[in-house]
Amino acid sequence: MPEQLTPSPARGLHIITWGCQMNVYDSARMADVLRPLGYSPVDSPDHADMIILNTCHIRERAAEKVFSELGRLRQIREARKLEGKQTLIAVAGCVAQAEGKELLARAPYVDLVLGPQTYHRLPEMVARIARAGGSVIDTDFPVESKFDLLPEDAAPQNEGNLTAFLTIQEGCDKFCSFCVVPYTRGAETSRPVASILAEAERLVASGVKEITLLGQNVNAFHGEWQDGIASLPELASLLHERIPALKRLRYVTSHPRDMEQALINAHRDNPIFMPYLHLPVQSGSDKVLKAMNRSHTADEYRDIIRKLRAARPDIALTSDFIVGHPGETDEDFEATMQLVRDVRFASAYSFKYSQRPGTPAAGQPFQVAEDVKEKRLAALQALLREQQDAFNASLIGTVQDILVTGIGRKPGQLNGRSPYLQPVHFEGDPALIGQIVKVHITTPFTNSLGGHLSKQEGTTI
Ligand code: 5AD
Ligand code: SF4
């Protein structure tokens, strides 16, 4: 336990967050655990007594980017020192987990290195530095779960307090050939259901209408509940039954292998599930999927999509793709293009394969040349863009339920969020903020939609 938790005078905390929604969530939780020590968020690192760089290992040259950012933070620290002010520098997240020791060797001015599983011990680490000086590294996978130890009164971090993320699961046991997550985030663990319900209740009591459940393998969720275990569809039912003011539910990120029939049925039966699912496939070639250790074939993926569409005909699908995995031929890439043509995605993320030290694919022969990867990525992205435009165009003339999230940029304009996560702009009374309204969609923009309040009906809640 931390020795010193008495509130101290306000100290500035600046957190720089890179990477996925899990990191966004973790950054907010780090701010929560540091609040009792007197730390409150400041906008600029120049005014921060503590700077945390929350890193992501998925992107290319992740470690180099961290070192270059640390160089900049070191200069800020030196400038503050001339003014007689101290600055703690901490590196958190997946790069910290993967390269902790090397980080301290190459950047000895870093005070704290902590992996994603040890945020709840931050106050203790800060106290240890205050007492003894030096640097602290904590990248264990502790036996106690951080889920049990994060503060109960966590403040929601969300857009205008109407939408929020809620972590229910962490880690991954799948070991895809290209991915660092199983090494940086550890084994799959699920948060107990009672604690999820309690956090969801607090969020909704504070005004949240839409929750996105987070996890690296969120559909592998199996959380303790009463005398047994609840799966994701069971958790979703509990959220729906017990928290009537919760209007919308999403979850991300899922693995096809855990897309069980009960979860597919829940998309039909549970009205708070949005008709939208991010389901990474990575490749459309069975040979590459096998080399990736994905444990599903392209046809099995098509089959899941078919069942999802049977259960919920208006569901929109998004995905992740990697081109140029070691061994990928032109024919394999064409199989990916074919899968995209068959499924038709509403949007998608696509990446060139890039080697991650320590992962199986990094050591495989037949690495694909950079220019080949670039050509394939351009072709795939052009096709995905076409599909995204077609999806947006298909909504023109329809009436959609829009969660009104705030005031727009133009006078009289409101912003909202469609069931498909698209930003939507339309004119309306600011009193509608927080409600779900019917909007007639009229105009497609590149990354958003325009419309007007539907005459046929006012608000739905
Ligand atoms: N190279 C390219 N893309 C990767 N991703 C994960 N690891 C790599 C890598 N080594 C992509 C996958 C994953 C998404 C979050 O990032 O598509 O689904
Ligand atoms: Fe990485 Fe695969 Fe696990 Fe996703 S399922 S986190 S890509 S190892």
Reading the chain (461 residues) residue by residue, the pLDDT tens digits are 343 444 445 889 999 999 887 888 889 889 888 887 888 899 999 999 999 999 988 777 788 889 999 999 999 999 999 988 989 999 998 888 888 888 888 899 999 998 887 787 888 888 778 777 777 777 666 655 555 555 554 444 444 589 999 999 999 999 999 998 888 888 999 999 999 999 999 999 999 999 999 999 999 999 999 999 999 999 999 999 999 999 999 999 999 999 999 999 999 999 999 999 999 999 999 999 999 999 999 999 999 999 999 999 999 999 999 999 999 999 999 999 999 999 999 999 999 999 888 889 998 888 999 999 999 999 999 999 999 999 999 999 999 999 999 999 899 999 999 999 999 999 999 999 999 999 999 998 878 999 999 975 544 44
Nearest to 205 by CA among 247, 147, 246: 246
Listing DSSP states for 223-288 in one string gives EEETTEEEEHHHHHHHHHHH-TT--EEEEE---GGG--HHHHHHHHH-TTB-SEEE---B-S-HHH
Mutate to test the pocket of ligand 2, among 217, 257, 293, 295 (most ligand atoms within 8 A of CB): 217
CB 364 within 8 A of CB 325: no
Q: How are beta strands 11-17 and 50-55 bridged, if at all?
A: parallel
- Residue 78's CB is within 10 A of a number of other CB atoms, namely 11
351 lines ligand 1 (CB under 6 A): yes
77 lines ligand 2 (CB under 6 A): no
353 lines ligand 1 (CB under 6 A): yes
- Quick one: which H or E segment has residue 32? helix 21-34
Q: What is the pTM for the complete model shown?
A: 0.80
For residue 199, give both structure tokens: 């956090």
Task: Name residue 399's beta-bridge partners.
Answer: 440
Q: Identify residue 339 by its one-letter amino acid code.
A: L
Q: Is 94 annotated as a binding residue?
A: yes
Mutate to test the pocket of ligand 2, among 59, 216, 288 (most ligand atoms within 8 A of CB): 216
- Which letter does DSSP use for residue 154 in this model? P
Task: Name residue 53's beta-bridge partners.
Answer: 16, 91
For residue 8, give both structure tokens: 């101290």
First to last CA, the chain: 45
Distance between Cα 80 and ligand 1 center (Å): 38
Q: Is 20 annotated as a binding residue?
A: yes
